[in-house]
Amino acid sequence: MYEKTVNIQLATVGGQGGILASSIIAQVAFDAGLDVKKREVHGMSQRGGVVTSDVRFGKQVCSPMVPQGSIDFLLAFEQAEGLRAIPNLKNGGVVITNTQTIIPPIVAIGKGTYPDNALAAIAERVKQSFTLDAMRLAEEAGSAKTVSTVMLGALSVFLDFSEEAWLKAIRSKVPKKTIEINQRAFEAGRTSVNPD
């Protein structure tokens, strides 16, 4: 399983649960006996800034940093952040984008612009592009705070780890009182994307 290194990048905004999601991915891969490396780049994350997480796993992984142009799976929790990360996607890479729009502070104060039709721009540039309304699915599962778990559910259909392996990792990382809601959120994400 996974002789070659798999590179996953999570492009998120502070408060969306990207760090938790990257920890869960790393845990699933680690539990499968793979070498795992991860790193996070925090912008002004507590103020809605950019947070990027890289997770790499395989037989042997030397660095936590995804090399330029080598992302296999891009998990975009916010559409503009997904568009920003597209240049690092490898040829044939997969993008899963949450339809949510979060206007950054610099745009809100009139010192920047938000891209028009980010979802359409992603779809134009990427052959394997999937979108889902992770916020709506999270709310339906019981909490808007489970957007990250919805996104993990969507990612899970592309990776060779069992559903139970994902749920085990989720149960080990989320607060006990939220396990049931997170399980529902994961299932919602898992059934929302069809890779065929």
* Nearest one of 10, 74, 97 to 45, comparing CA atoms: 10
pLDDT mean by block of 10 residues, the chain; 196 residues: 91 84 97 95 59 93 91 94 92 94 69 81 94 96 96 97 98 97 98 88
pLDDT of residue 47: 52
Q: Which domains, ranges and CATH numbers included, belong to the chain?
A: 6-190 (3.40.920.10)
Beta-carbon contacts of residue 41 (< 8 Å; ≥ 6 apart): 50, 51, 52, 53
**Buried/exposed code over 19-54 (b: 16+ C-beta within 10 A; e: otherwise):** bbbbbbbbbbbeebebebbbebeeeebeebebbbbb
pLDDT of residue 45: 45
pTM, 2 dp: 0.91
pLDDT of residue 105: 64
R_g of the chain, CA atoms, integer Å: 16
